[in-house]
Amino acid sequence: MMTAGVAALAAEFQLAAWRAVRDFDDFSEDNDPYQEHDFGAFELEPVGQLFWKIDYYADATLTAGSEDPADPESSYRVLTLMLANEY
């Protein structure tokens, strides 16, 4: 998923942002204390800072959190890409 702000970017910036998410590996104890690798932040010139976040839901209605996010059979994962100012 992407927010309205990301969707409003030119296609070249959207592609660059998705590539940055795909290639993101800057996890540390400071930004990933539980080692879940479900959030990241990066800079994209000239757009600025973007965030991505993975949320885990119990079912396809996406209304309740998953009790066991590690189990792909009992959770739906949604990755959202957003401009930092949309957070």
Condensed to tens digits (0 to 9), the pLDDT of residues 9-66 reads 999 999 999 999 999 999 999 999 999 999 999 999 999 999 999 999 999 999 999 9
- Cβ partners under 8 Å of residue 72, min gap 6: none
Statement: residue 5 has pLDDT above 90: yes
pTM: 0.89
CA–CA separation, 71 vs 52, rounded Å?
21
**In 3D, which of 53, 40, 44 has the Cα closest to residue 80?**
53
Joined together, the tokens standing for residue 23 give 């290639």
CA–CA separation, 32 vs 43, rounded Å?
18
**In 3D, which of 10, 68, 81, 11 has the Cα closest to residue 42?**
81
pLDDT, position 70: 86
